[in-house]
Structure 1
Amino acid sequence: MKKESLFSQPVGIEIFRNLYFSVLDAMGIVLCRSSYSTNIKERQDYSCALFDHRGRLIVQGDHLPVHLGSMALSVASAVKHCHFEDGDIVILNDPFYGGTHLPDITAIIPVFIQGGTLPYIYLANRAHHADIGGMSPGSMAPCSEIYQEGLRIPPVHLVKKGTVNEELMKLILMNVRSSGERSGDFQAQMASLREGKKRIEKIIDRYGESANSDFMENLLNYTECLTRSFIRSIPNGEYCSQDFMDDNGVSHLPVSIAVSIKIDGEEAWIDFSGTDPEQAGNINAVFSITVSAVHYVFRALMPEDTPTNEGFTRPIHVSVPEKCFLNATPPCAVAAGNVETSQRIVDACFKALSKCLQHKIPAASSGSMNNLTIGGFDSFRNRFFTYYETIGGGMGARSGINGLDGVHTHMTNTKNTPIEVLETELPLRVIRYRLRLNSGGRGKYKGGKGIRRDLQVLVPARVSILSDRRTTVPYGLDGGFPGAKGINRLIRDNDSRLLPSKCTIHAQENDIISISTPGGGGYGKASRS
């Protein structure tokens, strides 16, 4: 059998998909092991993906859902605004150019076939940098406009024909905290892309352009067929729901997300009409985040081995009104839209689908990434520091299964920062790290428990918290009870005071920041005993 026809067959498609996946896996390993910041090397807050010459997502690594569903728009923006040559690397972070929020830096490298004048494949990675400038360390403070959040980078060449643009690098590093760490993370992203380029070039050389092109097209069509088949299994109809963000970080009023999901044969139409308008705080989400969250919901309901690529997205149509806070425009602040609002979009969509897929849909999980950033001057090591972490919570229960305790869910799956690493590299001390008893929602199947994590700052520092589900609760389903709300506290001299869901404070030496994360919702009516 010829190579060209082998990879047009189902078995060949699967072999080739895993071959491409191995490239992304290697890219992730290089990025993880060569980065400087704990957020990337320990928590693995990064993603890698491969795109064809048209910018269509072909294969993605097993990384963060919130990154991968939106990365295609970053690649499309880079292709539109930059001319790629062999050896180039383009970076961007601007949410209004296909990014998510400013700390997420996307880097893209083209791969050419021999004699080609246009890129044949694009490889991309995205990593969350612990600081990208702005009004507060970590670039995740509650803000009212994007200019306060950090340095905006449109699609620009960081590397041109193999040569690093040192002037651009100098400009970026002059505007961020912990510039040595940032430089190391940029170097890690570049090394990751070059490793991926080397590996994909070997695959192209071995199997030829025709076989690779056949594989990519057949994979997309195959995935589209799987997705259409799944949507056909959902009863036709229109399913609506509403959920709320606690507040926008400026006022204390809840913010509504309304969604209608219409299933019509083998296509799904998701409409967010009725959702609240753009907000004064930073919970605004750009369109790519909203689309990413919707895609995650449908992908999570499909078999685990279903490929995730552009073919999956073809029968899923997302509509968001202009000037809605789920379709934000400049100069809206958007830092929390990526990490908090995305979770509530998922909750709202799952709640709607629970009306037709009751036994497949879980109760609400914690619904917050519980973002914590701390920064200041480390007098012990004579350097500035920035620390960023998200803290897991309870997973929602579902029919037949209790929710997991103390995990990240839905739009994020990062690890925690090991205590040993945190205390070795930063002026912080972990005072308490445990599960929150009785925080999971009661029901026939119990919601997962949240986490309590107390960190003591050993030097004066600026602390920012972006969280949610502090006034609203993670809902239960089918008679199950909701999970417990989260709680943020500042403990100073044994005196404890509550902190709002979104805030920035000046912490004094030896202050303790206590984050108690929400539990998951319960499922089904609890039996009397």
Structure 2
Amino acid sequence: MTATTSPPLDPVTLALVQNRLDHISHQMGWVMTRTARSPIFSQSHDFSCFIADSRGTLISQADGIPIHTGGGGFAVRAILRDFGGAIEPEDVFLLNDPYTAGGNHLPDWVIARPVFVTGALVAFACNRAHQADIGGGAAGTYNSAATEIFHEGIRLPVLKLIERGRTRDDLWRLLMLNTRLPEALDGDLRAMIGSTRIGADRLAALVEELGTDRAGDFFEGVLAHADRRFRSCIDRLAEGVWRAEESVDNDCFEPIDGRIVVALTVRNSRLVVDFAGTSPQVKGFKNSSIANSTSAVFMALSSFFEPDLPRNEGAFRSVEIRLPEGTLVNARPPAPMTMNTVFVAHEIVHVMWKALGQALPERASAGWSKAVHSVTAGLKDDGSRYVMYQWAGAPAGGGVEGRDGFHLIGHLITLGGLTLPNLETYEQLYPVRFRRQELRCDSAGPGRFRGGAGCDYEVEMFTAADYAFRGEGVGAPSSYGAAGGRAGVGGAVTLTLADGSEIQAPKYGVQRHGPGIYHALSPGGGGYGDPRTRDPARVLRDVRDGVVSAAAAERDYGVAITADGRGIDAARTAALRA
């Protein structure tokens, strides 16, 4: 007998399948945004939806924050490893642990719903969301004083939260007992579960349309297409070994001389990404898990090239990642990890961009700045607890050829996927009053395409509160310039208490303070290209927008602004640029 082979996949249908998968991811996200209880989800969108096939391979990560989803396959493969043949229709799984369950850090809980069609497991619909509070040593999930993972909150291996359609009430009660905000967590978990229900229904409908005997071929087809697309990107890179490093100047407790080091080998349409030489894991909570580091590498690679690259694991079949055990990028237990999705993921992306920029200089990017956020927790007048994320200490993006950096865009690892909340809503939810939230003048790194500006943010806190500081961007500049551009300025956080005393906030730490004024100056992104070659009309626009002062326009860009601030002094500008 002659072996039968499947007919070739129609490329038009294949493209439609990828678009349908991505649309399902977006639909899950819309459901989550509209039904979640906490502002961290309903306003800031600190969650991500993704889809994996029956083998645990990521086939769509179209919604949310890149650092969440690039490692999503690790979580689904942990489910398959731990439960194997015990996965049933109407089951729903929960996990978060970075050491045993494919998690990136403890606050990001994954709800994963297996999808069955005619009795066969065909896919998983998943939602990874950063919970507002999971217990631990500090309210709001970020315990800046943590020295081991047990200080950071409840650890969840792969668990069946819902078994054959019935919620495990004992497990649900356990989760509610291990949070300071049980009402919020209850509502948020139900929103996550509901979003995966919508995703599972849509996936089942897609598989039925394709045919259960052909759906797997189409899923493999979108992965293979992504592989071909990304190999074509690799072929544009100059072959060789490209090296880069980024400093890590603290371990969350004291200064250190640490670094993230990468050697990027480009050869024969393949990449080897080797972090040998990276500093050992540290005392504080900036150590990274395998899933998180892998996600950061994938994010750096996909964001460096064209924005229409497929977002699935097939794109990285040609990439080998080496993460030395016991280092900042692959820590051994029980190292704490809560900060890792922001730092050191930020540094991993930076070293990748620096190395890639050597291999393909025309696509080089200046660096993004680092955040000066904190989490503030206290009691409302009615005695109930609140946890407020001070998101507006947002950093800024770096410039690239042809485009300025984005203003206060948020963490690098979100690529703009995290949004600033509505201040009026916050004033209704928390005992605060906002006094200022505006672009910070002269914070952006100068360049032919300047960096983005940081934020000048001030809020009055009416009650005593616990502050979990996580201000990696406090102090020296944290971005970098490219192609002759310069870094943006550094950041600062101060608290002015009711008695008039002023406290300079540390980079990290947990402190309690009375009512007062919280003031954050977030750092600016790096500039791209020689600032003296920037179009003078662009400089004038920046001055009129309050992004650059007239003095800085003259000093950094060689552009003289007229006394009324409305025009360019052509003669003086020509002399300055001569």
Asked if the contact 1:65–1:410 (Cα under 8 Å) also holds between the matched residues in 2, the reply is no
1:170 aligned partner: 173
In the alignment, what sits opposite 1:365? Answer: 368
2:430 aligned partner, one-letter code: L
Q: CA deviation at 1:301?
A: 2.2
Q: Pick from 85, 88, 103 the counterpart of residue 88 of structure 2.
A: 85
Pick aligned residue for 2:481 from 472, 476, 489: 476
Deviations 1:46-88 (A, max 9, x none): 1111111100111122310000111111111122113311111
* Distance across 2 between alignment mates of 1:54 and 1:448: 41
* Structure 2 counterpart of 1:220: 223
Q: Is 1:138 aligned to 2:140, yes or no?
A: yes
Q: Judge which range, 449-458 or 255-264, deviates more.
A: 449-458
Q: Any unmatched runs of 5+ in structure 1?
A: none
User: 2:359 matched to 1:353?
Assistant: no
% of aligned pairs identical? 28
Report the CA distance between 1:369 and its aligned residue: 4.2
Match of 1:54 in 2: 55
Matched to 2:454, the amino acid is: G
Report what 1:128 is aligned to: 130
Report the equivalent of 2:564: none
Secondary structure at the aligned position of 1:188 is classed as: helix
**Cα distance per residue 1:412-444 (max 9 Å; x no partner):** 120011101111111222222111110111122
- For residue 214 of structure 1, report the CA deviation from its aligned partner: 1.9
- The number of residue pairs the alignment matches comes to 521
Across the aligned residues of Structure 1 and Structure 2, the Cα RMSD in angstroms comes to: 1.7
Moved over 3 A (4+): 4-7
Aligned to 1:98: 102
TM-score after normalising by structure 1: 0.95
The Cα of 1:102 is off from its aligned counterpart by: 1.2
8 Å CA contact retained: 2:458, 2:520 = yes
* Cα 1:459–1:212 shift into 2, 3 Å: same
Hey, what does 1:273 align to over in structure 2?
276
Higher relative contact order (CA closer than 8 Å, sequence separation 6+): 1
Paired AA for residue 523 in structure 2: P
1:447 is aligned to 451
Distance 2:234 2:228 in 1: 10
- Report 1:370-385 matches (<5 A): 370-379=372-381, 381-385=382-386
Of 482, 489, 501, the residue aligned with 1:495 is 501
Cα separation, 1, equivalents of 2:185 and 2:29:
18
Q: Max radius of gyration: which structure?
A: 2
Alignment of 1:455-470 (within 5 A): 455-470=459-474
Residue by residue over 1:9-52, the C-alpha shift from the partner in whole angstroms, topping out at 9 and shown as x without a partner, is: 22111111111222222111111111100000011111111111
Q: Which residue of 1 aligns with 2:437?
A: 433
Question: Tell me, what secondary structure is at the counterpart of 2:255?
Answer: coil
In the other structure, the counterpart of 2:561 is none
Once the two structures are TM-superposed, the CA of residue 332 in structure 1 deviates from its matched residue by: 0.5
Partner of 1:484: helix, strand, or coil? coil
Q: Per the alignment, do residues 220 and 112 of structure 1 end up closer, same or farther by CA in structure 2, a change over 3 Å counting?
A: same
Structure 2 equivalent of residue 74 of structure 1: 75
* Alpha-carbon separation, structure 2, partners of 1:388 and 1:94: 23
Question: In 1, distance between residues paired with 2:285 and 2:411?
Answer: 22
Amino acid at match of 1:45: D
Superposed CA offset, 1:472-505 (max 9, x none):
4211112211111111212213433311111211
Residue number in structure 2 paired with 1:45: 46
Partner of 1:293: 296
Q: 1:190 aligns with which of 177, 188, 193?
A: 193
Superposed, 1:175-324 pairs within 5 Å as 175-324=178-327
Alignment partners' CA distance in 2, 1:328 and 1:227: 29
Does the CA contact (< 8 Å) of 1:100 and 1:289 recur in 2?
yes
Deviation per residue, 1:239-280 (Å, 9 max, x gap): 111111231111122421111111112011111111110100
Distance 1:251 1:353, change over 3 A: same
What TM-score do you get using the length of structure 2 for normalisation?
0.87
Return the alpha-carbon distance in structure 2 between the equivalents of residues 409 and 236 of structure 1. Answer: 31
Q: Does the Cα contact within 8 Å between 1:177 and 1:386 map onto a contact in 2?
A: no
Partner of 2:546: none
Q: Give the secondary-structure state (helix, strand or coil) at the position aligned to 2:196.
A: helix
For the Cα contact (< 8 Å) 2:476–2:491, is it kept in 1?
no
Q: Secondary structure at the match of 1:221?
A: helix
- Taking a change above 3 Å as real, the CA distance of residues 356 and 87 of structure 1, as seen in their structure-2 partners, is same
Amino acid in the other structure paired with 1:524: G
Q: In 1, distance between residues paired with 2:186 and 2:283?
A: 33
> Is 1:64 aligned to residue 65 of structure 2?
yes
Quote the residue 1:151 is aligned against. Answer: 154
Q: Distance in 1 between matches of 2:531 and 2:45?
A: 38
Deviates more, 1:350-359 or 1:417-426: 350-359
Structure 2 distance, partners of 1:247, 1:471, is 12
For 1:456, the aligned partner's letter is: E
Matches within 5 A, 1:25-40: 25-40=26-41
Partners of 1:453 and 1:436 lie apart in 2 by: 9
Q: Secondary structure at the match of 1:447?
A: coil
Deviation of 1:122 after TM superposition, in Å, equals 0.9
| CA distance in structure 1 between the partners assigned to 2:130 and 2:189 by the alignment | 11
Work out whether residues 284 and 341 of structure 1, in 8 Å CA contact, stay in contact via their aligned partners in 2.
yes
Report the equivalent of 2:527.
522
Amino acid at match of 2:493: N
SS in 2 for 1:193: helix
What SS does structure 2 have at the residue aligned with 1:262?
Answer: strand
Amino acid corresponding to residue 205 of structure 2 in structure 1? K
The amino acid of 2:510's aligned partner reads: T
Per the alignment, residue 555 of structure 2 pairs with none
Shift of 1:326: 0.8
Alignment of 1:366-405 (within 5 A): 366=369, 368-379=370-381, 381-391=382-392, 392-405=394-407
SS at match of 1:390: coil
1:41 and 1:389 mapped to 2: Cα distance?
A: 16
Q: Is the 8 A contact 1:89 1:108 kept in 2?
A: yes
- The 8 Å contact of residues 267 and 316 in structure 1, kept in 2 or not, is answered as yes
Report the CA distance shift for 1:452/1:189 in structure 2 as closer, same or farther (over 3 A): same
Distance 2:209 2:358 in 1: 50
Partner letter of residue 276 of structure 1?
S
Where does residue 23 of structure 2 map in the other structure? 22
Q: Which residue of 2 aligns with 1:513?
A: 518
Give the 3 Å change call, closer, same or farther, for CA 93–371 of structure 1 in structure 2. farther
Alpha-carbon distance in structure 2 between the residues aligned to 1:110 and 1:249:
39
Corresponding residue SS for 1:95: coil
Shift of 1:454: 2.0
Write the distance in 2 (CA, Å) between the matches of 1:390 and 1:259.
30
